[in-house]
Copies of this chain bind each other. A is one copy, B any other.
Amino acid sequence: MTAITQPAPLAAGTLRIFPLGGLGEVGRNMTVYEQDGKLLIVDCGVLFPEEHQPGVDLILPDFGPIRDRLDDVVGVVLTHGHEDHIGAVPYLLRLKADIPLLGSKLTLALVEAKLKEHRIKPYTHTVREGDTEQLGPFETEFVAVNHSIPDALAVAIRTSAGLVLHTGDFKMDQLPLDDRITDLRAFARLGEEGVDAFLVDSTNADVPGFTAPEREIGPVISQVIAKTTGLVVVASFSSHVHRVQQVLDAAAENGRKVAFVGRSMVRNMGIAADLGYLQVPDGVVVPQKTAEGMPREQVVFMSTGSQGEPMAVLSRIVNGEHRIEVGEDDTVILASSLIPGNENAVFRVINGLMQLGAKVVHKGSAKVHVSGHASAGELLYCYNILRPANVIPVHGEYRHLHAASQLAIDTGVPRERAFVGENGTVWDLRDHRVTVAGQLEIGFVYVDGSSVGRIDEADLKDRRILAEEGFISIFVALEPQTGKVIVGPEIHARGFAEEDSIFDDIRPKIVKALAEAGEQGVRDQHQYQQVVRRTVGRWVGTRIRRRPMIVPVVIEA
């Protein structure tokens, strides 16, 4: 972690760029552009917690650096409708509901559906590729890019300080299902004009070669369906309209109906179909209830849960907690990536499905998934067509940012113009040069139940200790003048390996230690608690070699 250094006040005619999330991690993407006292935000997503962050529901970008400046925000550009780019919008709008949101039709439809659940009705402005919008000092121009959700946009930002291109998430599928390719002509035009800073999706920068076309997946899914004599269940991400399109087409080819299962799948595909992003072959989609009443060999269920999420449809099917049952003759296709960290959960689902007798097809066994991100080969094309003066990789862990930076250097970007930053790094652009102007402090903002930002690292550390060791609580009421125990010690332990009878040993020790402390002049409740903590801690450490959390409560009798 770089030392925190407050940047100098921003000079007129300089563009400042600082990410509040998305660097050093895959998720909670949010970048702030500042010039002449105004702020433009690109994306506002969430990050999903890892196993060392137990109980956390979501992690937000740290709004801290702009919290007092929300009146200066001229708009939030949302590049596409994935959670890691739009998921934190409700939390931002809770602070100020009238910040304008800009995005493509599908992106805004997905954001609005999400905001509706938070009972927020936003100010929105729909844009499409080729549009330009002046937002304070920022002239924005939107460029079509291809990703694993339709209608994704890159945004070019022109100010008096120079020209920036910010890709959002993208890849360069040259044969996409909807024929909407990443607009390299526009990239070329911007390159001719002179791109001063290129903020580029680095997620797949360490993957050699090229991401395969989405189109190669459809025939594989169709073949799998054709070979299945029972039910087919396809699990994927609930926003992956093109993947679902291929499932619909493959089902139609095989004379099957498709039912969407799972709240987010039903909602998102409803939106996509209504807006024309999903082409539903005549009569192919039926409600889940209808499909449940049909012969199994005529049905495909399109569901969520491809990451083994315990509450999603697929896990519930495995656990026998869902109306849909799978067994012999049925096939389950996991048409999705395996996000690192989810392996155990996904393999649990696969084992469970196989134990039920179902056949399981996943990206390890057939081509049923391609990534949504540009691989190293594609990034080289981008760098060469743009010839950016400065490169700032975003959207990635350090190893991704580093790989994307190295690829830029390979194409001739000077090493000192290819940056690897972190959340809170402040870059200033002036005279075609990007320099590091400072480093803001950026924390993790945890959403936990209805609380936002109230639990912190200390709470999570407590939780990890509780998880690994459990706790012992000791209640004692005593005479403060003597340390004489009047009530207790009452001892309770949870998540702990031993029977309660083991504490018979320690009660007299506590009583003795408190009396001794009283003799030595201890009068204070807090000190008495320390005596209890030490006595119990030492005993449990040597006797059972454990270090549970010890919670002493001493009150005056």
Contacts and interface: CB of A to CB of B under 8 A. Distances in A.
B344 A340 contact: yes
Interface string A452-480: 00110001101110111111010101000
A364 B182 CA distance: 28
A411 interface: no
B497 A344 contact: no
A329 to B, nearest CB: 15
Interface stretch (A95-103, A253-261, A262-270, A349-357): A349-357
B354 A402 contact: yes
Q: Is the interface of A mostly helix, strand, loop or mixed?
A: mixed
A501 interface: no
Interface string A466-502: 1111110101010000000001101010111111000
A496 B454 CA distance: 9
A462 B448 CA distance: 19
A481 B165 CA distance: 75
A469 B55 contact: yes
Contacts of A475: 475, 490, 553, 555
Given A473-B492, A475-B475, A498-B454, A399 B553 contact: no
A540 to B, nearest CB: 9
Given A343-B343, A467-B55, A551-B494, A351 B398 contact: yes
A545 interface: yes
A114 to B, nearest CB: 18
A360 B340 CA distance: 18
B466 A399 contact: no
Contacts of A351: 24, 397-399
Interface residues of A, number: 61
B398 A354 contact: yes
Contact of A51 (B51, B460, B462): B51
A448 B496 CA distance: 9
Contacts of A50: 344
A459 B55 contact: no
A366 to B, nearest CB: 11
A448 B351 CA distance: 27
Given A51-B51, A354-B402, A495 B466 contact: yes
Contacts of A295: none
A546 B497 CA distance: 26
A544 interface: yes
Contact of A497 (B343, B402, B449, B470): B449
Contacts of A451: 497-498, 544
A344 B399 CA distance: 13
Instruction: From A55, A347, A360, name the one whose CB has the most chain B CB atoms within 10 angstroms.
Output: A55
Contacts of A51: 51, 344
Oligomer: number of copies: 2
A64 interface: no
A463 B469 CA distance: 8
Contacts of A54: 464, 467-468
A352 B24 CA distance: 10
A74 to B, nearest CB: 34
A358 to B, nearest CB: 11
A455 to B, nearest CB: 4
A347 B397 contact: yes
A551 B35 CA distance: 54
Instruction: From A344, A364, A495, name the one whose CB has the most chain B CB atoms within 10 angstroms.
Output: A495
A450 interface: yes
A206 interface: yes
A210 B488 CA distance: 66
Contacts of A470: 55, 459, 462-463, 466
Interface string A540-555: 0000111001010101
Nearest to A556: B487
Contacts of A352: 398
Nearest to A343: B340
A377 to B, nearest CB: 15
A494 B477 contact: no
A341 interface: yes
Interface string A28-55: 0000000000000000000000110011
Given A341-B344, A494-B551, 6 more contacts: A24-B351, A450-B546, A454-B497, A454-B499, A466-B471, A475-B555
A-B CB proximity, top 10 nearest: A467-B467, A55-B468, A466-B466, A54-B467, A340-B343, A463-B495, A351-B398, A451-B497, A462-B495, A449-B546
Interface of A: 24, 50-51, 54-55, 206, 340-341, 343-344, 347, 350-352, 354-355, 360, 364-365, 397-399, 402, 448-451, 454-455, 459-460, 462-464, 466-471, 473, 475, 477, 487-488, 490, 492, 494-499, 544-546, 549, 551, 553, 555, 557
18 contacts: A54-B464, A341-B343, A347-B397, A351-B399, A449-B545, A449-B546, A450-B546, A454-B497, A462-B495, A463-B468, A464-B467, A466-B467, A473-B473, A475-B553, A487-B487, A487-B555, A490-B553, A490-B555
